[in-house]
Amino acid sequence: MIPNADLVLYAHVVLAVLTCLSIAKKYRSYGYLIVFDSRIYFLSLLLLYVSVPSIHYYYVTSGYNESLSTQTFISGYGLYFIFVQFCFFFTPSVLKLLSEDSKRKLPCCESSGLSTRILVYLMVLISLYVLGAFFVSGGGQVRAFWLSRGYASAFRIDLDIKYKITFCYAVVVLIVSYLSLIDKKLIYTWFFFPFVFIDLVLSDRSYIFIACTVGVFFFVSVKRKIPVLSVLACLMFLIFIGIVREESARVGGVNMFQVPREFLFTYISNFIVFDYAGSSLNLPENVVKSLLLIFPGLDSLLGLSEIATVSGTISENSPFLWGLGGSLLAEAFLFGPAYALVFPFLVAFYLQLINKLLVTKSGLGYFLFVSYLFSLSFFFRGGFLTWFMLPLYYVVYSGFWYWWGMFMKSRGKHRFV
């Protein structure tokens, strides 16, 4: 191995250890309050989606036949990205968020005036709709799904496009977040079951990851303590699902070193786009397209629906038979060196904004934080620039019931039965 590659590897290991120690120190100092810091989640996933693959591909070939210099450069950029987030983790705004003053205020959400009964009925209807759509579409093919990851993935994509299952999940998550906070009860998290069930049948983890992440957040919001054993159980369960996925597509046995394929395959996207980084994408067009996410269909009217994107570039140039989607780091190599330089700072300021809105004690700030947790996997698997407006999209559209209740409340209708 060339010295630069060794140096980057050791730096990744050291920074990963320092990050884990810093998070542990924050937990020791502030206890459960750390779950109200958006950086905790982002830094943790950076270690999994960037540091783990960087270290892994130092020893094991990715199958893409990338050069050692490409590996080292991308790993080095990932190191730079993590280092910036690590430094911003200690900014005063975060310390203020985790202060004792914030402890008495977080989280907070004004009552919409809607009765619990109406919202429970709405979740029941959504649950019946989701399960009905799943089975009508052929969701009973459990054996076929487990024997073929490709078939299960294609089924899931078609199901979501036709029936908007992920959007329905976002509606349920926001309602549960609201009721858990207002009624101080966690029983509403049982409405995650239809979506977790779909993941189990399809041997997937996306919805399960969301349920675990927001579930812990809701628990802390209500009980004011972190359920350490439950968190460990969730991690073990996600690892188990990964082993099941590996087993369903195995050839000659399960290689435990390859279990975290979610992170490894996502990282391969960086190798692909790096080879095509000479033809940079149009940054202004992609920014406008992302901003228009909050206005569905408007990008098509403006002729932006067919522009070259990060995920499109990866799909067109991938030599693999499965879809890789996008990657958090990949866009840095396609939007030019200037963007790559400031990109980590843009993400850091974005996370700071999420934190600041949470302490405004408003429904907008609270739901935006919950929607941020819901959207985390989209950032890492699809790209930050592509999906940075997604939390606001969910707040506006998946939280329609809250804004309708607030509107009616302002008209003098204080409670709906």
Q: Are residues 48 and 164 in the same domain?
A: no
pTM, to two decimals: 0.89
Residue 415 lies in a domain: no
**Whole-number pLDDT of residue 271:** 83
Domain interval for residue 342: 3-104+260-405
Detail the DSSP E strand segments found in 346-395: none
Residue 374 lies in a domain: yes
Q: Are residues 265 and 364 in the same domain?
A: yes
d(C-alpha 228, C-alpha 233), whole Å: 9
**Whole-number pLDDT of residue 1:** 45
Strand, coil or helix: 416 = strand
CB half-sphere exposure, 404, CA atoms < 13 A: 10
Mean pLDDT of 230-240: 71
The maximal CA–CA distance of the chain, rounded, in angstroms, is 71
Average pLDDT value for the chain: 81
**Model pLDDT for residues 146-164, shown as the tens digit of each residue:** 777 777 778 888 999 999 9
Q: Are residues 311 and 396 in the same domain?
A: yes
CB 138 within 8 A of CB 175: no
Residue 317: how many other CB atoms lie within 10 Å: 13
d(C-alpha 109, C-alpha 177), whole Å: 10
202, 221, 252: which is the final residue of a domain?
252
252, 268, 288: which is the final residue of a domain?
252
**Which of 52-56, 71-75, 236-240, 289-293 comes out lowest in average pLDDT?**
236-240
Q: What percent of the chain has pLDDT over 70?
A: 83
Q: Are residues 204 and 132 in the same domain?
A: yes
**Which of 80-94, 117-131, 139-153 comes out lowest in average pLDDT?**
139-153
Q: Are residues 189 and 67 in the same domain?
A: no
Q: Are residues 128 and 96 in the same domain?
A: no
For the chain, the domain total comes to 2
Mean pLDDT of 330-341: 86
**Whole-number pLDDT of residue 63:** 60
**Which of 80-89, 169-178, 313-322 comes out lowest in average pLDDT?**
313-322
Residue 240 lies in a domain: yes
Give the confidence band of 253 by pLDDT, cuts at 50, 70, 90: very low
Q: Are residues 287 and 396 in the same domain?
A: yes
230, 252, 274: which is the final residue of a domain?
252
Q: What percent of the chain has pLDDT over 90?
A: 29
Q: Are residues 271 and 201 in the same domain?
A: no
Q: Which among 243, 262, 212 has a CA at the least distance from the CA of 373?
A: 212
**Whole-number pLDDT of residue 54:** 87
Q: Are residues 120 and 242 in the same domain?
A: yes
Mean pLDDT of 248-262: 50
Residue 140: how many other CB atoms lie within 10 Å: 11
Residues with Cβ within 8 Å of residue 25, at least 6 apart in sequence:
none
Concatenated DSSP letters of 199-241 = HHHTT--HHHHHHHHHHHHHHHHHHSS--HHHHHHHHHHHHHH
Residue 111 lies in a domain: no
Q: Which among 326, 400, 1, 378 has a CA at the least distance from the CA of 206?
A: 378
Residue 410 lies in a domain: no
Q: Are residues 128 and 209 in the same domain?
A: yes
Strand, coil or helix: 409 = helix
**Whole-number pLDDT of residue 243:** 61
